[in-house]
């Protein structure tokens, strides 16, 4: 993934967090947690106020969840690139 695509994804995630009610969203690599399942990479997650953003293990899907676990939004990375 090139730098331009990373910037597009970052911009999309920040805009979506605003849309979902986060007043001043900040994404920080320090807050990012790597997820594992059975010792294997399973994706990444970051929490920004009441929203959890999950990046799938294959890097193709971004899910936004509320604190209650409800799926708020799901987007394919290919849709962001278009």
Q: Supply the pLDDT for residue 45.
A: 92
The pLDDT of residue 66: 95
34 DSSP 8-state letter: E
Q: How far is CA 4 from CA 25, 38, 39, 58, 76, in A?
A: 20, 33, 31, 19, 17
| pTM of the complete model | 0.85
CB half-sphere exposure, 73, CA atoms < 13 A: 17
Which pLDDT tens digits describe the chain residue by residue (82 residues)?
Answer: 577 888 888 899 999 999 999 988 888 777 889 999 999 999 999 988 889 999 998 888 999 999 999 999 999 988 886 6
**φ, ψ for residue 81, nearest 5 deg:** -70, -25
């Amino acid at each position: 993934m090139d730098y331009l695509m990373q910037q597009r994804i970052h911009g999309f995630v920040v805009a979506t967090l605003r849309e979902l009610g986060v007043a001043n969203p900040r994404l920080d690599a320090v807050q990012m947690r790597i997820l594992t399942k059975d010792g294997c990479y399973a994706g990444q997650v970051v929490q920004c106020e009441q929203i959890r953003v999950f990046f799938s293990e294959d890097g193709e899907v971004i899910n936004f969840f509320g604190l209650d676990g409800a799926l708020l939004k799901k987007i394919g990375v290919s849709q962001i690139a278009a």
